Amino acid sequence: MAAARAAGHRPHPVRQFVLKTRSRCNLACTYCYVYEMADQGWREQPPVMTPATFARAAQRIAEHAAAHDLPRVDLVLHGGEPLLTAPARLAEPVDAVRTAVAEAAPRTRVTATVQTNGVLLTRGRLAALAAAGIRVGVSLDGGLPAHNTRRVDHAGRPGFGAAARGLRLLARHPQSYAGVLCVVDLDQDPVETYESLLAFAPPSIGLLLPLANWSDPPPGHHPDRTPYADWLLAVFERWWHDGVRRTRIRLFEEIIALLLGLPTTTETLGLTPAATAVIETDGSIEQADSLKSAYEGAAATGMTLDTHSFDQFLDHPGLAARQLGRDALAARCRACELVEVCGGGHYPHRYRAGEGFRQPSVYCADLQPLIRHIAAAVEQAVQHAAAQAPAGPTGPPGPGTPGPGAPAHPPAVAS
């Protein structure tokens, strides 16, 4: 790290803090990266984050926000299942952070969301979250029971019915509704999956590629086929050509934004530096827990809230590697014309046992046609807009300038 700093590398502050308020879950989804993949560190974590740990986290976050004059920090209550907490106590960690930040960094705004499987969403919990200004994101594999057969409780019973009831409640509170996350499942029809999710009126849908890598490839992976691109492009075509944009799809909007040279904050695409810290229930500081899909201890730093600041976390080699952008990529990625958009793909997807993370994404063959297809759709929309726009004193919109025929919404900055 000393050599990297001497060469000019400067760290980027943490802007998103994931608080693992619960380390256990009421579901036992068969593909869960926390419980079913390489890292089993959850077994040694306390089941619940204590108020003392909330308070220490709040102090450290406020300290970091003040040191870097951050305009905003984003909190994510996560697990496990964070809604295992009683409704009256759900907002405690957020309240602690807001109080500490208001004192140390009054210009910093604090936003908060909770990511849940939706099973425990009730009127009481929604009221408590809404009162605290905490928005709700729900993980679901589609809008039908057949899409969610892998989302079961510890007795093997399906969790979809309760989750669907929770989502219907949430849809009545759009101000609290952050959206739905859905892992791509090649066994399910893509358009049916997308349209079934629309029944829950999500403001956004996050379509996630399964956490996989070169040593543990995703289902259906084959060097001569692009099944994930095919699946995603079927959804894209349905979404893109819909007369009314009924939801945002973050993956597609991120690609469009990157194609247009706009900034995003995603770590799954592009070259934006990683800016997330995870705080486990015992107060340990870790990297993004998606890394746990790679190998035991991949997300660990050896740091805790009691012994380290988030500025010290910025000097951890694992985080620094994820802030290097193009310099951290394999030679093949650096030479690729799509590198500014793809960014080598999601960091955990690059891992190969014995070789580390300096390879292209295991989804490289899928990402290329996905990006190229979306680029062609955007270019066609811009050309159509230019052709339809009346020529004024300054002429029609130039290339890359969205006009009336462009997508019905601007490319969003993904959060």
Judge whether 290 and 211 are in contact, CB under 8 Å: yes
pLDDT of 322 above 90? yes
Q: Quick one: average pLDDT of 217-231? A: 95
Which residue type occupies 347? Y
Return the pLDDT at 285. Answer: 98
Instruction: Give this prediction's pTM.
Output: 0.91
Distances (CA, A) of 122 to 90, 117, 131, 137, 207: 13, 12, 14, 14, 25
pLDDT of 396 above 50? no
The distance between the two most distant Cα atoms of the chain, rounded to a whole number of Å, is 70
Quote the CA–CA distance of 118 and 120 in Å, as a whole number: 6
pLDDT of 408 above 70? no
The helix (run of H) or strand (run of E) holding residue 276 is: strand 276-279
Question: CB count, 10 Å around CB of 311?
Answer: 15
Residue ranges of the alpha helices (H) in 275-316? 310-313
Beta strand segments in 96-172, E: 109-116, 134-139
Judge whether 324 and 69 are in contact, CB under 8 Å: no
Judge whether 147 and 196 are in contact, CB under 8 Å: yes
Query: 196 — phi, psi (to 5°)?
Result: -70, -35
pLDDT of 392 above 50? yes
Quote the CA–CA distance of 23 and 177 in Å, as a whole number: 24
pLDDT in tens, 262-307: 988 888 999 999 999 999 999 999 999 999 999 999 999 999 999 9
Return the pLDDT at 31. Answer: 83
pLDDT in tens, 240-267: 999 889 999 999 999 999 999 998 888 8
Instruction: Give the model's confidence band at 393: pLDDT under 50 very low, under 70 low, under 90 confident, else very high.
Output: low
DSSP letter at 87 equals G
Token reading at 102? 């208001």
pLDDT of 407 above 60? no
pLDDT in tens, 118-171: 999 999 999 999 999 999 999 999 999 999 999 999 999 999 999 999 999 999
Question: CB count, 10 Å around CB of 351?
Answer: 24
